[in-house]
Structure 1
Amino acid sequence: MSTKNLDNTKQSLLKQAGLQIIAGGSAGFVEVCLMHPLDLVKTRLQIQNKINNTASSELYYKGVLDCFRKMLRNEGLFSFWKGIVPPILAETPKRATKFLCFEQYKKIFMFGSDKATPQAYSLAGLGAGATEAVIVNSFEVVKVTLQSNRAKSTEIPSTFSVARNIIKTEGFGLQGLNKGLTATIARNGVFNMIYFGFYHSVKDYFPAYEEPMKEFIRKVGIGFTSGTIASFANIPFDVAKSRIQGPQPVSGQIKYRTTCGTLLTVAREEGFSALYKGLLPKVMRLGPGGAIMLLMYEFSYDYLQQKFL
């Protein structure tokens, strides 16, 4: 290959990477703005410990609707978007990283083949999820801290003051701004392994429609199913992450430290079903959210390719 052709190939790859970053960031921004209230409710359900709360307490949530109702009554309408700044700040690099890494990992696991296998899609998703987790974990710590605050939305501290306080009191390490890192890696890795693996493997089995509306419904259905199955698979790691990153049951004592230790403690003290706390709002968010994100990414990427490649 000539030097000129090599330079053109490099420029083309850089353009593709740039378009993947823009398309992935756009998809993440739209998804988080629409689905954040359900993420907040999921976190509230996951961090509460029935041992330390009575079922009749105003601070204990019996389910999704009960959580929405009590938050609206006690904290106001805008409380449903508590902690949205960290995910907005994180979503562009997070989704950009996810889709960019997925495309690059996919090429690696194709091993020179012209067509990716289901295994290649799954391994690429696993790698992309683990990579994005390292980047966004500190944002997750701040987000969970804000979401667990039960004060009215006008009274809670700002995102940056919460981040400063965590750094000041606990530092940057695995007990501070990066606590719960292994749980985040496990959560994101498992989710994206199934999410991408299922979506890209299954959609080829259902023929595409020429009619735009039918094709849209086909992709929405596959994307929704992908997000739902992935949510069922990774929810225990999500619970562990929320417990580690959220407020500890006893002030001044760290009860939840490691991922495996937290999973065992929650199962032993609250039952195995407690590892699936927050599953309903998670599915309600990541089912349609998964469909929105994949469709937004594919639409944006196709549009940008037509314009710039």
Structure 2
Amino acid sequence: MSLSQWQWETATAGAVAGFATVAAMYPLDIVRTRFQVNDGRVTNFPAYKNTAHAIFTITRLEGLKGLYAGFLPAVLGSTVSWGLYFFFYGRAKQRYSKNREEKLSSGHHLASAAEAGALVSLCTNPIWLIKTRLQLQNPLHQSRRYSGIYDALRTILREEGWTALYKGLGPGLLMVSHGAIQFTAYEELRRIMVDYKEKKQKSEGASNLLNSFDYALLGGSSKIAAILITYPFQVIRTRAQVK
């Protein structure tokens, strides 16, 4: 398999993974976004006590569709983001590893992830802004509500100009560190786990050493590390994107 083919297959796998993640966990994303903008002083957002109360209140006041407001741009944004991320990440790794036989260092993984994250942020910020606006619409809103992704895009361009589509880009670029931290942590934890298992059993390749549980543990651990460090940037970006 050529490297170019591998990159496209990896990008496709990333896009599918992004779609599956959004579809399964979207109601919690709605709750997170609304908690991020509610500082107790804004009157056009309901006050939620906790996650369970938020889900119950949204369902009672807005119906099940309230838990999936902005689902289309979320799916589009996640699918495009992960697809582009894996593609750009693979291209960056290829450039750093060109004419090199040794494995990439942690610094190269970090640079590759940061570069990919910045490019993805520039490409997808308008999608995330529309998603945030749709997620925050609720019965207490006094201004005109968007009817969908196209209406939101058209209204924002007409009333606020094209630059409004890049609100929150600053903290979004700072959140590049999220992907960098996650993938660097993943690569390092994977290396440690492979080295540990190689000492316990002899095998020809790393693919024979790690099982599905190991990969799930690696992915979850690296994601938690990235979230803990970069979450404040998410709050700032969400508040910057509020109409």
TM (normalized to structure 2)? Answer: 0.85
Q: Which of 156, 159, 164 is equivalent to 1:166?
A: 156
Tell me how far apart the structure 2 counterparts of residues 156 and 138 of structure 1 sit (CA, whole Å).
15
Q: Which amino acid aligns with 2:34?
A: R
Determine the structure 2 residue equivalent to 1:145: 133
1:51 and 1:244, CA in 2 relative to 1: closer, same or farther beyond 3 A?
Answer: same
Per-residue CA deviation, residues 94-145 of structure 1 (Å, 9 max, x unaligned), is 1111001111222334464320112221221111111111111000110000
Shift of 1:67: 1.2
Q: Which amino acid aligns with 1:107?
A: Q
Q: Is 2:17 aligned against 1:27?
A: yes
Q: How many residues align?
A: 228
Q: Which of 205, 209, 215 is equivalent to 2:192?
A: 205
Shift of 1:62: 2.3
Q: Which of 227, 235, 240 is equivalent to 2:236?
A: 240
Q: Is 2:173 aligned against 1:177?
A: no
Determine the structure 2 residue equivalent to 1:15: 5
Q: Is 2:57 aligned against 1:41?
A: no
Q: Which of 96, 114, 117 is equivalent to 1:129?
A: 117
Where does 1:22-171 land on structure 2 (aligned, <5 Å)? 22-53=12-43, 59-110=46-97, 112-113=99-100, 114-151=102-139, 157-171=147-161
- Structure 2, unaligned runs of 5 or more: none
Q: Which amino acid aligns with 1:224?
A: G
TM (normalized to structure 1)? Answer: 0.68
Determine the structure 2 residue equivalent to 1:231: 227
Q: Which amino acid aligns with 2:184?
A: G
Q: Which amino acid aligns with 1:193?
A: A
* 3-state SS of paired residue (1:52): coil
C-alpha contact 1:138 1:177 (8 A) present in aligned 2: yes
C-alpha contact 1:109 1:123 (8 A) present in aligned 2: no
C-alpha contact 2:85 2:116 (8 A) present in aligned 1: yes
C-alpha contact 2:114 2:179 (8 A) present in aligned 1: yes
- Segment of structure 1 superposing worse, 74-83 or 109-118: 109-118
Per-residue CA deviation, residues 188-230 of structure 1 (Å, 9 max, x unaligned), is x111011100001111211369999x71111111111111110
Identity %: 24
Determine the structure 2 residue equivalent to 1:289: none
C-alpha contact 1:83 1:144 (8 A) present in aligned 2: yes
- Structure 1, unaligned runs of 5 or more: 1-10, 248-309
Per-residue CA deviation, residues 140-192 of structure 1 (Å, 9 max, x unaligned), is 1100000000139xx9611211111111101111xx112111111111x1110
Q: Which amino acid aligns with 2:161?
A: G
Determine the structure 2 residue equivalent to 1:250: none
Tell me how far apart the structure 1 counterparts of residues 99 and 178 of structure 2 sit (CA, whole Å).
26
C-alpha contact 2:146 2:152 (8 A) present in aligned 1: no
C-alpha contact 2:38 2:45 (8 A) present in aligned 1: no
